[in-house]
Amino acid sequence: MATKNIKIGERTVAALLATGRDYKVFDENLPGFHVRVQPSGTKTYAVFYRNHSGKQRTITLGRTETVKAEKARRMALQRLAEVSGGNDPSLERQLQRRATTVSTLFDHYLEKHAIPNKRPRSVAGDRILWRLHLEPTFGNMKVAAIGRDDVEAFIRSKQNRKGAANRAVALLSTMMNFAIRWEQRADNPCRLVRRYEELPKERALTPKEVAKLRSALDADHDTIGAEAIRFLILTGARRGEVLQATWSQFRINDGAMVWVVPRENLKALAKGQRELVRPLAKEAVALIRAREKFRGNDTDLVFPSLLGSDQGRYDLNAIWKRVTTRSGLVGVRVHDLRHSFASAAFNAGLPLDMIGKVLGHADVRTTQRYAHANRASLQLVADTVSDFYG
């Protein structure tokens, strides 16, 4: 599409309309500075120049929705000044992209995305996946050099760790998407890679199995960890919610103790909901009351680490392995206690929407269906599960 030059600014750029093909509109005052308009409607600032060898180069400056016109003009002036000084900014950028290693990309991913946006536990999980699985294979490779065959070879090498391999490739794929955004490569080599099929692992414990587990907990030396697991059984909460529970979260509401879990401690929550108010069965209340006797002045944590009352627990892996082995429940996961809570409530005839309210499910449609549920009916869920286990 032929078009005359314009003075590039916010209004003139906004007036440019998409057609059936790409076209460029150059600035009437700054040679080489232009806007590229794509059929999709995407508009991008760029600058065209010739290097000292006479080769044509184009540097993308940014999309119009993220870069203001005047800023793009200043960037174009800077690039043209570099050319006048004998440099080739496009070539230098290409060389820099080619030199970036996956290890450097992971550091940037942590700094610019994971740490600001993800929960500390999720960031720690990313670090573990990187250190144990991705770094040994990809750490020293150039971001631009990784191909789909490299990722497929990695998957094949992890046949004995299929779940970990899938999670590692998912992390690598996320990193590669950021590499595309940061103009370090043009595509994602993980996109068409087939991952291992994983069968659902959830299972619900029977009342007899819960009784065996409780007996094993009674015999374990880690009394705080044992009480944390009992609390998981009685509430259906996620492990992280319990391990981050503080005394200030337990309050009296309408004469009954409730557990007010803040949004930052929850994996998911309905939009606009700032906290989850969990009702507690009598047995759960008794457990919290008993824990209060050991409440220290140096921490607000209800279930602190054995290493010191001022330290939090990262997981329950050690005690969980001991008690499941002792009770003959090898292979059962901590998260299965949450599944067991939901199954016990469902088998007792309680409606799914009410159960979802107690568990803190984030589905907005479900939330709309049970928004009318009152505290007494939700208390029934907690009490029914407690009675089901006996």
Residues 260 and 129 occupy one common structural domain: no
**Which of 34, 55, 87 represents a domain boundary (last residue)?**
87
Residues 225 and 372 occupy one common structural domain: yes
Q: What is the pLDDT of residue 220?
A: 95
pLDDT tens figures, 285-295: 999 999 988 88
Report the distance separating Cα 283 and Cα 382, nearest Å. 10
Q: Torsion angle, CA of 263/264/270/272, rounded to 10 degrees? A: 70
- The tally of domains found in the chain comes to 3
* AA identity, residue 365: R
Q: What is the pLDDT of residue 59?
A: 84
DSSP state of 196: P
Q: Where residue 112 sits, what CATH number does that domain have?
A: 1.10.150
Q: Which candidate, 201, 197, 200, 199, places its Cα nearest to that of 159?
A: 197
Q: What is the pLDDT of residue 371?
A: 35
Half-sphere exposure of 252 (CA within 13 A, CB side): 2
At 133, phi and psi to the nearest 5? -120, -50
Residues 75 and 114 occupy one common structural domain: no
- Which uninterrupted H or E stretch holds 279? strand 275-279
Q: Where residue 59 sits, what CATH number does that domain have?
A: 3.30.160.390
Which stretches of the chain drop beneath a pLDDT of 50?
2, 364-373
Q: Where residue 255 sits, what CATH number does that domain have?
A: 1.10.443.10
Residues 222 and 362 occupy one common structural domain: yes
Q: What is the pLDDT of residue 91?
A: 55
For 137, the token pair is 């294979």
Residues 175 and 255 occupy one common structural domain: no
Residues 56 and 150 occupy one common structural domain: no
Which domain range does residue 333 map to?
207-389
Q: What is the pLDDT of residue 93?
A: 61
Q: What is the pLDDT of residue 33?
A: 94
Cα→Cα distances 193→152, 198, 232, 305, Å: 6, 15, 37, 41
**Which of 87, 110, 129 represents a domain boundary (last residue)?**
87
Residue 240 lies in a domain: yes
For 257, the token pair is 């103790």
Q: What is the pLDDT of residue 386?
A: 78
Residues 139 and 286 occupy one common structural domain: no
Residue 190 lies in a domain: no
Residues 30 and 176 occupy one common structural domain: no
Report the distance separating Cα 279 and Cα 383, nearest Å. 9
Residue 198 lies in a domain: no
Q: What is the pLDDT of residue 213?
A: 96
At 216, phi and psi to the nearest 5? -65, -35
Residue 61 lies in a domain: yes
Residues 301 and 355 occupy one common structural domain: yes
Say which residue the tokens 């191909």 belong to: 147
Complete edge-to-edge strand list for the sheet that includes strand 250-253? 250-253, 256-262, 275-279
Residue 1 lies in a domain: no
Q: Which candidate, 193, 191, 95, 91, places its Cα nearest to that of 143?
A: 95
Rg (CA), the chain: 29
Residue 367 lies in a domain: yes
Q: How many Cβ atoms from other residues are within 10 Å of residue 329's Cβ?
A: 19
Residues 175 and 36 occupy one common structural domain: no
Residues 212 and 150 occupy one common structural domain: no
Residue 53 lies in a domain: yes
Residue 95 lies in a domain: no
Residues 37 and 115 occupy one common structural domain: no
